[in-house]
Amino acid sequence: MVDNIKDRVTIYEVAKASGFSLATVSRVINNQTNVTEKTRKKVEETIARLGYKPSAVAQALATNRSTNIGVVIPRANYVYISNMVNGLTEAARDRGYVLSLFVTSHSKDEAISAMNKVITSHVDGAIIFDDELDVEDAQKISSYQVPVIAVNNKVTGDKVACLTFGYEHLLRDILRDYFQNGDKKMYFLHVHNAGRLLARIERAFVSTHIEDNRNYGILSCDDSYSKTYLDFIDFFKTTKSGYFLAYRDSIAAAIINAARDSHLRVPEDVEVLSIIGTKYANIIRPTISSMYIDMQLVGHKAMEMLADLMEGKLDRKQIKVESTLIKRDSTL
Amino acid sequence: MVDNIKDRVTIYEVAKASGFSLATVSRVINNQTNVTEKTRKKVEETIARLGYKPSAVAQALATNRSTNIGVVIPRANYVYISNMVNGLTEAARDRGYVLSLFVTSHSKDEAISAMNKVITSHVDGAIIFDDELDVEDAQKISSYQVPVIAVNNKVTGDKVACLTFGYEHLLRDILRDYFQNGDKKMYFLHVHNAGRLLARIERAFVSTHIEDNRNYGILSCDDSYSKTYLDFIDFFKTTKSGYFLAYRDSIAAAIINAARDSHLRVPEDVEVLSIIGTKYANIIRPTISSMYIDMQLVGHKAMEMLADLMEGKLDRKQIKVESTLIKRDSTL
DNA sequence: TTGTAAGCGTTATCAG
DNA sequence: CTGATAACGCTTACAA
């Protein structure tokens, strides 16, 4: 076993113990070919015996590559973010990279400080999925020679590429289809400060209604299940029907539960569509129709783009992932 | 292979441009006191002008501290794990640490390889929450001078401490209480390979029943909503009542939905308790009674322990976080 | 095939 | 208060 009193074993000690030079040991570590099989064996044996592990820090300094990827996100525990992170970790691992997490907690200050840390951290590349950061920030970081993939943010530049989400198109289709066949007034659940994505979708909602000369409603709500539930218990005292577009499953569930508790039928009286659908949309009764993007896949794609960008062989610098409609029981 | 137009600005260039030495610039960077205000100003001005950011890699090599914490987890997108990770990131950020994520995908090989990466990565400490890793692994990593907090795994050692979850106690209380007042047969939902925690809880379930000379059932199920739902649709064709303990909310929801679709009443005919409760337990109808541990808090605690351990001032090397029962509508 | 030695960008220990 | 200079652990020409 390993002696745990002393400091880490270094390449020097391996060299000395094996009777070879630093360079040779280094070659063995890095699987270089120009080493005799005999030498390699001996060195590997001493490495195993001493329990030597190369220091990624020293390697990074020497090679100017850290094999670290920075990931900037507002929080780690939103379902769609953690799904993306999981996709990223898998794809990163397959390529030999390690992820470093930088969370911004939805504040601009934290976001700026996160960006600075990303730069000092000497990551080989970064994935940024954060509404607090805008085009300038992404470009700033790339001016430090850090290739960046911006998620949900249209940015381009020398070492910057982006992966955006396509919701508007699908939303317009859904709305126009509903204009044909549906009869309820449509409401958009506005959440204050819920970010660019929701804002964009809301704009699409509004403009489609205006273009088609339709009446619509915007309802402000809290990004919390309980609060929204209570608000809608109130709302349904006077309003007895409607088609509601909610940001996430939990908000959609709040509306559904409030509707039912107000003796309204879903979807006959009240229809609900969740914009960011997760697997929970399928568990809640009635199941919630939703727009869906596979965020694990997004993670994989983003990592793939980043790897290509780092190697300078990324051709398409803008990729759009389209959402799909998953029709369930909360809509007709 | 590197074709960067312009390399990063280094401390050398700042020194040259400002007319001071490396040492002085370094002092300014590190906010040392022994620098004239005038000098500091000048240096800071050049730093800003050149856009210089110190290299964390070089700092790490020089100081032998990376300000990185390794986090080993099976996946990033389980709700309770991502909650813990979010707690960790917050607590880490407050202490100036950055998290590096190592995911093991539930495989022993990946787990071993993750551990090796943790060691090579030169992290200042590690948090391990992974069932593939056992006591030896945690001790091995700590033999590399890496302080470790093992979550959900009782380990001790020089640089190792642990944070475990208390479910058994509460479970026994719940069961014994039910033995007094309840009348249904209790079933435990066994999920193959769902890890140590569930296995431990299952043992407590069985032993309590045996001690009290009670009849019980163990049902094997898949860790998937849809499969479990179908299984229970089948199950409820012959069995018309029961008290079911399910690992997670989604499994509990599958039972509830299957029961209702089989015209059984919840909780009158079928009672369900979720072991790892999340916020979704409160959204599903009927709301799901569950045992609960605040995983974000666990993240904070774990980081706090690690910080103390790293500074050699951790007194309690074993901390147990007790779960609480949240009584909702799926049990009587 | 192997060894020597010069970096990589910092910090830290000395002197001055 | 400031400046040389030697580490830190590894890679990589360049030599042998």
Q: How confident is the model over A82-127, as pLDDT tens digits?
A: 999 999 999 999 999 999 999 998 788 989 999 999 999 999 999 9
Report residue A5's pLDDT band, with 50, 70 and 90 as the boundaries: very low
* A27-41 residue pLDDT tens: 999 998 888 999 999
Q: Taking 90 as the threshold, does the pLDDT of residue A156 lie above it?
A: no
Q: Which of A292-296, B106-110, B271-275 has the lowest mean pLDDT?
A: B106-110
Q: Among residues of chain A, what percentage have pLDDT more than 70? A: 98
Kindly state the average pLDDT of the residues B265-272.
Answer: 97
Specify which residues B322 forms β-bridges with: B166
Q: Taking 50 as the threshold, does the pLDDT of residue B108 lie above it?
A: yes
* A249-278 residue pLDDT tens: 999 999 999 999 999 999 999 999 999 999
Kindly state the average pLDDT of the residues B225-244.
Answer: 97
Distance B31 CA to C7 C1' (A): 28
Residues 10-49 of B with CB under 7 A from strand C: 10-12, 22-23, 26, 29-30
Domains B68-164+295-321 and B168-292 share a fold: yes
| Beta-carbon separation of A64 and B99 below 8 A | no
Kindly state the average pLDDT of the residues B34-46.
Answer: 91
CA distance B283 to B278: 10
* B301-316 residue pLDDT tens: 999 999 999 998 999 9
| Beta-carbon separation of A117 and B98 below 8 A | yes
Describe the crossing of helices A135-142 and A108-120 by its angle, rounded to 10 degrees.
10
Q: Taking 60 as the threshold, does the pLDDT of residue B235 lie above it?
A: yes
Specify which residues B126 forms β-bridges with: B70, B148
Q: Which of A6-10, A192-196, B158-162 has the lowest mean pLDDT?
A: A6-10
User: What count of other Cβ atoms lies within 10 Å of the Cβ of residue A158?
Assistant: 12
Predicted local distance difference test score (pLDDT) of residue B8: 82
Distance B219 CA to D6 C1' (A): 67
CA distance B281 to B261: 19
| Beta-carbon separation of B283 and A254 below 8 A | yes
* A-chain residues near B249 (CB < 8 A): 283
From 1.10.1760.20, 3.40.190.10, 1.10.260.40, 1.10.287.370, which CATH number describes the B11-63 domain? Answer: 1.10.260.40
Distance A62 CA to D15 C1' (A): 21
Burial class (CB in 10 A: 0-12, 13-18, 19+), A38: exposed
Q: Taking 60 as the threshold, does the pLDDT of residue A1 lie above it?
A: no
Domain A68-164+295-321 adopts which CATH fold? Rossmann fold (3.40.50)
Q: Among residues of chain B, what percentage have pLDDT more than 70? A: 98
CA distances to A29, A56, A60, A310, B56 from A122, rounded to whole Å, are 23, 12, 9, 14, 7
Predicted local distance difference test score (pLDDT) of residue A141: 86
Q: Among residues of chain A, what percentage have pLDDT more than 90? A: 86
Predicted local distance difference test score (pLDDT) of residue A6: 52
Pairing state of beta strands A289-292 and A324-326? antiparallel
Report residue B4's pLDDT band, with 50, 70 and 90 as the boundaries: very low
Nearest to B120 among A4, A55, A61 (CB): A55
| All structural domains of chain B with their residue ranges | 11-63, 68-164+295-321, 168-292
Nearest partner of A145 among B47, B2, B66, B29, judged by Cα = B2
Report residue A65's pLDDT band, with 50, 70 and 90 as the boundaries: very high
The whole-chain average pLDDT of chain A stands at 93
The answer to whether the C-beta of A20 is closer than 7 A to strand C is yes
Q: Taking 60 as the threshold, does the pLDDT of residue A209 lie above it?
A: yes
Q: Taking 70 as the threshold, does the pLDDT of residue A140 lie above it?
A: yes
CA distance A248 to B176: 39
Q: Taking 80 as the threshold, does the pLDDT of residue B293 lie above it?
A: yes
From 3.40.50.2300, 3.40.50.740, 3.30.930.10, 3.40.50.150, which CATH number describes the B168-292 domain? Answer: 3.40.50.2300
Contacts made by residues B145-153, CB under 8 angstroms, sequence distance 24+:
B145/A4, B145/A7, B145/A8, B146/B70, B146/B118, B146/B119, B147/B306, B147/B309, B147/B310, B148/B306, B149/B125, B149/B302, B149/B305, B149/B306, B149/B309, B151/B84, B151/B127, B151/B298, B151/B302, B152/B196, B152/B197, B153/B128, B153/B196
Predicted local distance difference test score (pLDDT) of residue A304: 97
Pairing state of beta strands B324-326 and B289-292? antiparallel
Nearest partner of A74 among A226, A204, A248, A196, judged by Cα = A196
Residue matched to tokens 């996160």 = A114
* B199-214 residue pLDDT tens: 999 999 999 999 999 9
- Torsion (CA) A225, A229, A232, A237 in degrees, nearest 10: 180
Q: Taking 50 as the threshold, does the pLDDT of residue A301 lie above it?
A: yes
Predicted local distance difference test score (pLDDT) of residue A207: 97
The whole-chain average pLDDT of chain B stands at 93
Nearest partner of B86 among A87, A98, A77, A82, judged by Cα = A77
Q: Taking 50 as the threshold, does the pLDDT of residue B2 lie above it?
A: no
Distance from chain centroid for Cα B321: 13
- What contacts B57, CB < 8 A, 6 or more positions away? A57, A60, A61, A66, A122
* B8-24 residue pLDDT tens: 899 999 999 999 999 99
Nearest to B144 among A8, A100, A119 (CB): A8
CA distances to B25, B50, B101 from B13, rounded to whole Å, are 10, 9, 34
Nearest partner of A201 among A226, A227, A175, judged by Cα = A175
